[in-house]
Structure 1
Amino acid sequence: MEILPGAREHLLGSNWNENGFEENPEIKIQVRGLTKVSEKGVSILNNVSVDIPKGIIMGVIGPSGSGKSTFLRSLNRLWEPSSNSVFLDGHDICDLDVLALRRKIGMLFQLPVLFEGTVADNVRYGPQLKGKKLSDNEVYKLLTLADLDSSFFNKSGGELSVGQAQRVALARTLANEPEVLLLDEPTSALDPISTQNIEDVLVKLKREQNMTIVMVSHSIKQIKRIADIVCLLVNGEIVEILKPDQLFESKHPMAQRFLELSS
């Protein structure tokens, strides 16, 4: 799959090999000319195009109202993009069964919402919809992957802190064996320790499962800690794609202002 010239310049031009990436990375998600206009005629996304390599963490940052969440939701059709604008492994996602797509591209939201029942019930939910019941051991493994021990197995959602509930929501998402994980400010409501726990899990998923992760965050420090590449979205347009240590080399005036105020 061809990489956009701009993406190639940003993704491959700055010591890409020194960080363990291939010179010609396999593209997991390809976005081409993604556009959205509100019912009132206001532009939300304007001709967005980007290549997202497999097995990386891409941070998405930008001012409030710049279209970050809409962009994220378009990748698994929580917002329905137009045909031929979002591709997964080269396939137009609009041609894929939406439930199958959302199993491949899981999403974690800002605030966790758990179903009634135990933690184990929550983790088993997705596979059960496909007629598969996870064994206790499989549930334990998923909890461990989300940095939760076996003591959480029979707890109810009401017994959990927000940070613990977020990790249960993550384990529930991972039970569907996604290839891509989308995160919309997943740690904004968490304390520093819970935030670090989630960040550690994300890095582990990337390293051990080669998972592709796209995360919207307002925290520049967080993005610099865990992201491999950073997408700067301003007024519905991707203005730059940089590596975390190049963020303050951004040449876009509004992006510069946002970064200065956020640092």
Structure 2
Amino acid sequence: MKEKTSVLVCALLLLGVSLCWCIGAPDAGDACSDVTGQKEMLVYLNLLQGEIDGALAGLDGQVEATAGNLTATGLAGADADAELNDALAADPSVTTAITIARNGTCLAAVPESVASLVGEDLGGREVVRETFEKKVPIMTDVIPLHEGGQAAIIEYPVFGEDECLAGAMSITFDPYLLCKEKIEPVLNGTPYTAMVAEAGGRVLYDPDPEEVGKETFNESLYEAFPEILAFAHTYAGNWSGHATYSFYDTGFSRTVQKEAYWTTVGLYGTEWRLIIIRELGGA
């Protein structure tokens, strides 16, 4: 809380400086409003970056702790199930938690809706192979799941008391729910919206539910808006930046000009682009 308060204090000071500059500038007009709006966008972007990175770090810490505890409990049994249920309860975005033996067999799975995974061979999945080969934690992009549906995965190696690799522990989580919980309380009541996308263009969060899950580079919705594709290529290749483009307003009622700043959040080399957006007027 102290850290968040410091961020907000710095944000207010930054906005205060920009407002004083505008008040003292003759004939500032629209230029003043534009500069103030841009500074405010960057303040909110910085705040949201801290919120989402913090949420991902929280998930990661829970998985790390669970993997460590499984060294003592083993990967199956009542104690292992209790550890998995604690991981499941870590955040509303978490949907499943499982353990996997070194031979790739699923040994435990919660909640009950995925209990049928126990006994399944998951060793052929890329995330499992990579965890076993590199013996390091991993976060994936949104990928198809063995049990059906799609989610992102955080997976940790689990070591035995002899420090040899015993298997792995993972959670699946819904990036949309994680981002929604952090973004909407911050931006509600402001003139700004936000979007989160994978570096490859897949939309993870947007205030328009119709856009969530869209693959920007292969989506007919964007074909009539070449500026969107140019924007997506730009943010895909750059950790942070600024752009303007034309697209529908929130709700798809009309075409407007938009301005965006973006930065990057993520874990273990998996990057999400966090984008803050405002409407500039009719296109």
| TM class, shorter-length | under 0.3
Q: TM-score, normalised by structure 2?
A: 0.25
Q: Which has the larger radius of gyration?
A: 2
If each structure's strand is expressed as a fraction of its own residues, which one has the higher value? 2
TM value normalised by structure 1 = 0.27
